[in-house]
Amino acid sequence: MALTLGLAACGDGGTEAKPADGGSSAAASDTVKIGFMGDLTGPNAGIVIPPRNGAKLVIDEYNKTNPAVKVELVEYDSQGDPSKAVALAQQAIKTDKVASMIGPAFSGESAQVGPVLEEAEIPSITASATNTKLAENGWKFWHRILPNDSVQGPGIADFIAGAAAAKNVFVIDDKSEYGKPLADAVRAQLATKGAKVTDDSLDPAESDFSSVVNKVAAAKPDAIFFGGYYAAAGNLLKQLRDKGVKDAKFFSGDGSLDRGLIDGAGAPNAEGALVGCPCYIATPDVTDAKVKGFADAYKAAFSADPSIYAAEGYDAATVFIEAIKAGNTTPDKINTFIGTVDLAGVSKQVKFGPNGEVEAKDIYMYQVKDGAITLLGKAAEAKLG
Amino acid sequence: MLNDFVNQFWPATIDGLAFGSIYALIALGYTMVYGVLRLINFAHSEVFMIGTFGAMFVPFVLGINSALTGLALVGVIIAMILAGMLASAGTAIALERIAYRPLRKRGASRLAALISAIGASIFLQELFALLVIPEVFNRPQQGRIQMGLPRLMERTELFSIFGHSVRVDQVLVIVAAIGMMIALDALVNRTKIGRGIRATAQNPEAAVLMGVDINRIVRMTFFIGGGMAGVAGALYLISYENTNYYIGFLFGIKAFTAAVLGGIGNLRGALVGGVVLGLVENYGAIFFGSDWKHVISFTILVLVLMFRPTGILGESLQQARA
């Protein structure tokens, strides 16, 4: 899944319109702006609102302590559209003068916005963009707080061939910057495990997937993997089950880890569907005190359990807040701070490598049970019940 | 490859017929308006979109969230089709009144009407995303997210062809679409209004001299074309159980293609074009993969137009015999 978090805290900016360029004006700042960019009202907003909420939680908590330097979260609703995202990034840099950015949420928009933030030297952390290539641009200000698709794809594929013991797998992608490479990684890994792989692609803008479904029905696979977002995944799963493809286990990646999958497919059709994710979702029965504290605070603030990327959004914002607490309010200093950070987050131990990738590499498996998404465990260890 | 085709032939045929029927019903709106006004109503895709939401309104208001059976199911389906027709036909008439007639009266060029259509189309999409879906359907902040319909009709197998099951929803779509086509054909060829439509299509000036009220005929044309898109919207919703504010976009392009493929301005051509397009898409996907679906359909369109520039059936509404 491709969600990038960009935090752009613009160093100076003082209270309002102080024409500070780039943020080198030091001590005067009493408000630092952090941007959040992603699809907040578009078709896949369901996986972007939770990290936004997670980030908001950190920042609200921080501001409540009445610090000398306040932090303002500025939201940029790109609707997942790369061209909108670039325009919004310009606005964030030039008009709002953010000091850092959480996002952009998706990989497609991240690929476009990355160079813009890089040129303006605004540090960003994405909490959800998982396209592998994003880390290969040599960007110095870009970070990702979860493992990428080259970790996710093989992790899920190992689970399909291992715990799920599937020998004949049908892999479908949505041709997107996120779905295609993820599905390709799954295909490659499955092939090394000796599983028979059949493939096809679909156009997520369409609503009739019958040509794909007919191929799946003819191939009689024991597992199906879909690389794409939940809106299409839900419709695909419904049409598969309606066509009588009932026994094949349905797998997908983090882009489909949302209630929208269950709503789109219908609860009976979605039952048992398995979704892998490099993200960690705190389920209500969690025992770890730190995670539980986060889950309770999240629930109190947004009257919902934390869902996909909420913990990652929370951790990304925490990194920036820690930077500001340590007296780093300019983009440059914040970026230096991120390079040295090593803190225990909610989702993982947060420590970034030189290419901006987080060092922890765990993939988690989730399963739909009784119409709800539940955590099975780490993909390497989880068992099917 | 050939083996795949043999295995998937029947399911692909059934799906192609069902989806092609929906294309055909939408294509009628393009073809009728073109026949009478020589105008491509590019906002027709939104007429379809509004039809899906009109149909959605019925189960939404009744608060239905589980499958129905027997008379209740039949009643709800009929109500959904009527609501879809009403919403779509109303939209089409409003479009004609607001976006086209003022231009036509002032003798504006067809290009102006085209821009007006595109503007109306974007306006309607955003109206639904920003206002209608959040407010009327009570989905705040979710105007751009797909809206699902609870399962109304269980997907029971009606019969099977060579071991491939044919479901009741697929049969409903095909039968209802054919029913509407027959009714429309009779309307255009056998009624007074139909004669007026054909007369206007053949020669608007002569039709006026013969006492045909052109404005009324144009209104009727939009009304009927819109109604057909409404039926398509309701049938689509019942079988695919989802819709969103931009659903008209792809359907609009495909239905317009179907209209041109069959012969624009020709009612039966719209039916043929829709069904051919639905089938070709599904057959092509078997050979080349589903990602080639759109490429295949438009390649076929270009090939057909190279050899038959007026489309498969060619003959247009104004040349139709009385």
Per DSSP, the residues of A142-199 read EEESS--HHHHHHHHHHHHHTTT--SEEEEEE-SSTTHHHHHHHHHHHHHHTT-EEEE
Contact: A214, B281; criterion CB under 8 Å: no
> CA-to-CA distance for B274 and B280, rounded, in angstroms?
10
**CA distances for A203 relative to A147, A213, A384, angstroms:** 26, 13, 31
User: What pLDDT was estimated at residue A234?
Assistant: 94
Q: What is the DSSP string of A22-89?
A: TT--GGG-SEEEEEEEE-SSSTTGGGTHHHHHHHHHHHHHHHHT--SSEEEEEEEE-TT-HHHHHHHH
Instruction: Show Cβ contacts of residue A278 under 8 Å, excluding neighbours closer than 6 positions.
Output: A130, A146, A147, A148, A151, A152, A155, A254, A362, A363, A364
- Quote the mean pLDDT of chain B: 90
Q: Is the pLDDT of residue A266 over 80?
A: yes
Q: What structural domains does chain A harbor? A: 5-148+287-351 (3.40.50.2300), 150-277+363-378 (3.40.50.2300)
Give the residue among B44, B254, B243, B57 at the shortest CA–CA distance from B144.
B243
CA–CA min distance A44, chain B (Å): 7
User: What pLDDT was estimated at residue A22?
Assistant: 44
pLDDT in tens, A147-177: 998 899 999 999 999 999 999 999 999 998 8
User: What pLDDT was estimated at residue A252?
Assistant: 96
pLDDT band for B322, please (50, 70, 90 cuts).
very low
Average pLDDT over every residue of B114-141: 92
Nearest to B290 among A207, A212, A264 (CB): A212
Q: Is the pLDDT of residue A81 over 50?
A: yes
Backbone Cα Rg of chain A:
20
Among all residues of chain A, which has the CA nearest to that of B154?
A242
Q: How many CB atoms lie within 10 A of CB B1?
A: 8
pLDDT in tens, B4-18: 888 889 889 999 999
Share of chain B above pLDDT 70, in %: 97
Contact: A45, B241; criterion CB under 8 Å: no
Q: Is the pLDDT of residue A72 over 90?
A: yes
Q: Does A308 touch chain B (CB under 8 A)?
A: no
pLDDT in tens, B235-276: 999 999 999 999 999 999 999 999 999 988 888 899 999 999
Is A66 exposed, middle or buried, given 0-12, 13-18 or 19+ CB atoms closer than 10 A? exposed
Contact: B144, A264; criterion CB under 8 Å: no
Task: At B297, list the tokens.
Answer: 């359909």
User: What pLDDT was estimated at residue B6?
Assistant: 82
pLDDT band for A196, please (50, 70, 90 cuts).
very high
Count A/B contacts: CB-CB distance under 8 Å.
Answer: 91
| Residue A69 φ/ψ region, left for φ over 0, alpha for ψ in the -120 to 50 degree band, beta for the rest | beta
Question: Which H or E run includes B107?
Answer: none
Q: How many CB atoms lie within 10 A of CB A184?
A: 17
Identify the residue whose tokens are 């751009």. B144
Interfacial A residues in 10-49 facing B (CB < 8 Å): 41-43, 45-46
Q: Is the pLDDT of residue A2 over 60?
A: no
pLDDT in tens, B24-38: 999 999 999 998 888
User: What pLDDT was estimated at residue A11?
Assistant: 38
Q: Is the pLDDT of residue B70 over 60?
A: yes
3-state secondary structure at position A127: coil
User: What pLDDT was estimated at residue B315?
Assistant: 59
Contact: B15, A214; criterion CB under 8 Å: yes
CA–CA min distance B64, chain A (Å): 15
Instruction: Show Cβ contacts of residue B165 under 8 Å, excluding neighbours closer than 6 positions.
Output: A244, B157, B158, B159
pLDDT in tens, A11-64: 343 344 444 444 444 444 589 999 999 999 887 888 899 999 999 999 999 999
Identify the residue whose tokens are 């869902």. A307
Give the residue among A29, A3, A35 at the shortest CA–CA distance from A16.
A29
User: What pLDDT was estimated at residue A284?
Assistant: 72
Length of chain A: 385
pLDDT in tens, A342-381: 999 999 999 999 999 999 999 999 999 998 888 898 888 8
Find chain A residues with C-beta within 8 A of B141's C-beta.
41, 45
Find chain B residues with C-beta within 8 A of A231's C-beta.
145-146
Strand partners, A35: A74, A101
> CA-to-CA distance for B187 and B180, rounded, in angstroms?
10
Contact: A214, B12; criterion CB under 8 Å: yes
Q: Please indicate whether residue B157 or residue B217 has the higher confidence score (pLDDT).
A: B217
Contact: B141, A218; criterion CB under 8 Å: no
User: What pLDDT was estimated at residue A29?
Assistant: 54
Nearest to A211 among B145, B247, B293 (CB): B293
* Bridge-based pairing state of the strands A196-201 and A249-252: unpaired
* Bridge-based pairing state of the strands A100-103 and A124-126: parallel
Contact: A201, B289; criterion CB under 8 Å: yes
Q: Does A359 touch chain B (CB under 8 A)?
A: no
Strand partners, A352: A358
Nearest to B148 among A45, A206, A264 (CB): A264
User: What pLDDT was estimated at residue A3?
Assistant: 43
Residues B242, B147: contact at Cβ < 8 Å?
yes
Contact: B141, A41; criterion CB under 8 Å: yes
pLDDT band for B93, please (50, 70, 90 cuts).
very high
